Amino acid sequence: MPRPTLIRRTLMLACPLIVAASAAANAAEPVDYSAYRLSSDVTVLPVARETAQTPVPAANQDYKVSPRLAGMPFAKLIEGAAREASLDPALVHAVISVESGYNPAARSPKGALGLMQVLPETALRYGIRNAAKSPAANLRAGTRYLSDLMIMFDNRLELVLAAYNAGEGAVLRYGQRIPPFRETQQYVPAVLARYREWRPAQPKIEKVIAPATARTRVTYMPGTVLETDLPHLSTSYR
């Protein structure tokens, strides 16, 4: 029978080799930290009932929904949640459309929940214990997270969406660029395309060129002449 001391020494020598082999295998390709799934990957699973009630403010029904978005599912709830988080409602609609296809019971393989596919730990940041409890709770967590990302990434929408999909840590690790994850690379342009389609029409700014001003010659005294673009003013004193 091998001695206990010999077994311990063997394990101590083998552990570094096992750790090194595992690290080499993980370094072969970038790790996809994405917490969210495109709608094609989303499945509908039974949602566990929450034991404790989580208070969620009701959406403000006084918000007027634009005609462009009035026919969308959950239009009033989304309008209220977006405005309370200082977001364009069209952007929230674009995120929801790609994330869950407006399915409030959607759950991703990684555990993201509801309309905005919010992770439970993300919802807890905003006091929401169950992001699948109701569409209003899910919208409140998702829009506040999206609003925080807008501040973090200085309203650079492509980075905000990449962070919503892959996590803000992934965007920071890759030097504030869209991470090289296939899903995130597809997710960002998909959301942007729908946002451009649904956002309010942008006003056209026309460049106005002021008419040229005639030059004025002012003679103060014989032999002294001043040329100026200003209108002629009287130089006489009284």
Residue 209's alpha-carbon distances to 104, 206, 212, 213, in angstroms, are 52, 10, 9, 12
Question: Distance between CA atoms of 95 and 146, rounded to whole angstroms?
Answer: 10
Task: Write down all domains in the chain, each with its CATH number in brackets.
Answer: 61-198 (1.10.530.10)
Which of 29, 50, 79, 99 does the annotation list as catalytic? Answer: 99
* pLDDT number for residue 181: 97
Amino acid identity, residue 7? Answer: I
pTM over 0.85: no
Task: Give, for all 238 residues of the chain, the pLDDT tens digit.
Answer: 555 554 444 444 444 444 344 444 443 444 443 444 443 444 333 333 333 333 344 444 578 899 999 999 999 999 999 999 999 999 999 999 999 999 999 999 999 999 999 999 999 999 999 999 899 999 999 999 999 999 999 999 999 999 999 999 999 999 999 999 999 999 999 999 999 999 987 766 666 566 555 565 555 566 665 555 555 444 444 4
Annotation marks residue 183 as catalytic: no
Contacts of 52 (CB under 8 A, 6+ apart): 129
Residue 37's alpha-carbon distances to 117, 145, 163, 179, 187, in angstroms, are 8, 17, 13, 15, 9
Question: Distance between CA atoms of 227 and 30, rounded to whole angstroms?
Answer: 68
